[in-house]
Amino acid sequence: MVGTSDNPRSDPARSFALLLHGSVCRTLRESTTPRSCHLVGGALRDAVLGVPIGDFDVVVSGQGRELAKVLARKMGSRNVELGGDRFAAFRVPLGRTHIDIWDRGDSSLESDLERRDFTIHSFALDLHTGAISDPFAGLQDLAQRRLRMTTARSFADDPLRVLRICRFRAQLAGFDIEPATLIRAGNSIPDLVSVARERIRTEIELTLAQPRAGLAARLWIRLGAVPDLVLDQPVSEDVRQQLLESLVPVWQRFEDTAAGLPATGDLVSARLALLLEIQERVGGPSSTTTADALRQRGFVTKTTATRTSRLLGAGSLPTEMPAQRWFLHTTADQWPSAVSLGYALADPSTTPETAAATADAIVGLATNEAAKIFDPPRLVSATDLQRSLGIEPGPRLGNLLAVLYRRQIEGSLGTRQEALAIAKNTLAEADMADRATGG
């Protein structure tokens, strides 16, 4: 990945000069002489902000397909045709990043910049001369940390930008949305129904993966994207205000707790679960029902819905050690998220000190007893029980194995002999109960 460490408020010209000397830009120059070729979009934004550059957007005036083939050959990659309603588009994947090539044909560079979402993406760098084209004052907005629509038609041209601006609010530290742009975004919420579900799904999950996703979640609620449109649950202004008031402290507790635990790679599911739980607590529908509805409507992937439901099913943090051990076992690799959620959503009647002590105890078990909790070898097998107790294969055997394994996880069984003794006693008690009831 390409990046600079310059101060974000330094002269953009220096950032662009460093960018032009990078391998991707050098290869582009070598491959595009003498035709027009400009770098646009997020790469320029990130160069000025001094953060790593992931993806490159390139605009050429003709021969886009040929350029994509040349780049793919030179970089040991392939050419992927993306299509496009107004411009031909091609992608050259490069590991975790890629180069997107937009062929504007006979259209002007300014017309290409005009169609872009926000002004911080609507300026261009000539890869041959280093000249900047900035017809919409994007560099000024970038310097002032301002998100502003490129034109009054930005949201009408692509309503998904309503969700995208929420993501950028979370992704770009210190940025605010220009008031007129925020109003236009809110007015464009109903137009989201025309956007393909998979595009909305991608945007939702990308947003929830951002470090400051709570800012985006508040914007979703404020604008009426969630729960109104995405969940098809219009709410009153009173409920919307309750959601916003509840979200801020609970979300912060979650993030503070999660930051101190091992990384889970599961923050998308955890943050979605948090949002759905908060909605339920202010009078909304069941969080698990909503998670399933999101999957059925195509707004989250099946994997995200499954992991979200698993977290929602974990419930509150148990206070007794056997239940704490089982809580960790059932949440498995999601346990840090489950602990963070449980602490953030602790019953208001529980004192902060008690909630913190419970969370600390569970984290201690996860750290010190992991081998005995998450996936320990069973003390006895089905064959052991059949040979020792004469049990035939069937539900009775399966249920007995499940009981023994749970007790093992909870810490009340530690040896094979103990497990066999418990199994024998359990069978004897069951036989007595059957005889007493005539079974």
Question: Considering the domain boundaries, does residue 162 fall inside one?
Answer: yes
**pLDDT score at 10:** 58
d(CA 36, CA 112): 13
* Residue 213 belongs to domain spanning: 145-230
Examine residue 278 and state whether it is found in any structural domain, yes or no.
yes
**Whether 138 and 159 share a structural domain:** no
Residue 3 domain-assigned (yes or no): no
- Same domain for 174 and 224? yes
Q: How many CB atoms lie within 10 A of CB 393?
A: 10
Q: 43 and 69 in contact (C-beta within 8 Å)?
A: no
Q: Is the overall model pTM greater than 0.95, yes or no?
A: no
Q: Using CA of residue 312, residue 313, residue 316, residue 317, what is the dihedral sign?
A: negative
As for how many domains the chain has, the answer is 4
Tell me, yes or no, whether 282 and 239 share the same domain: yes
Radius of gyration of the chain (CA): 28
* pLDDT one-digit tens code per residue, 206-265: 999 999 999 999 999 999 988 887 777 788 888 899 999 999 999 999 999 999 999 877
Same domain flag for 27 and 120: yes
Q: Does 266 share its domain with 247?
A: yes
pLDDT for res 6: 38
Tokens at 4, concatenated: 């600079």
Domain C-terminal end among 332, 350, 375? 375
Same domain, 371 and 243: yes
- What pLDDT does residue 86 have? 59
For 65-117, how does the pLDDT look when each residue is reduced to its tens digit (9 = 90+)?
Answer: 899 999 999 988 998 888 665 567 899 998 888 999 999 988 999 999 999 99
Whether 182 and 287 share a structural domain: no
Report H helices in 286-320: 287-296, 302-314
Last residue of a domain, one of 202, 230, 258: 230
Residues 164 and 290 in one domain: no
- How far is 315 from 301, CA to CA, in rounded Å? 22
Domain assignment present for residue 32? The answer is yes
Q: 203 in a domain, yes or no?
A: yes
User: Domain for residue 271, yes or no?
Assistant: yes
164 within a domain of the structure (yes/no) = yes
Clarify whether residues 314 and 332 are in a common domain.
Answer: yes
pLDDT in tens, 170-215: 999 999 999 999 999 999 999 999 999 999 999 999 999 999 999 9
Domain co-membership, 336 together with 284? yes
Count how many Cα atoms sit within 13 Å of the Cα of residue 422 in the half-sphere of its side chain: 19
Contact 99, 4 (CB under 8 A): no
Q: Does pLDDT of 283 surpass 80?
A: yes
CATH, residue 161: 1.10.110.30
Residues 161 and 200 in one domain: yes
| Shared-domain flag, residues 392 and 344 | no
CATH code for the domain in which residue 37 is found: 3.30.460.10
Residue 313 lies in a domain: yes
* Last residue within a domain, chosen from 375, 393, 417: 375
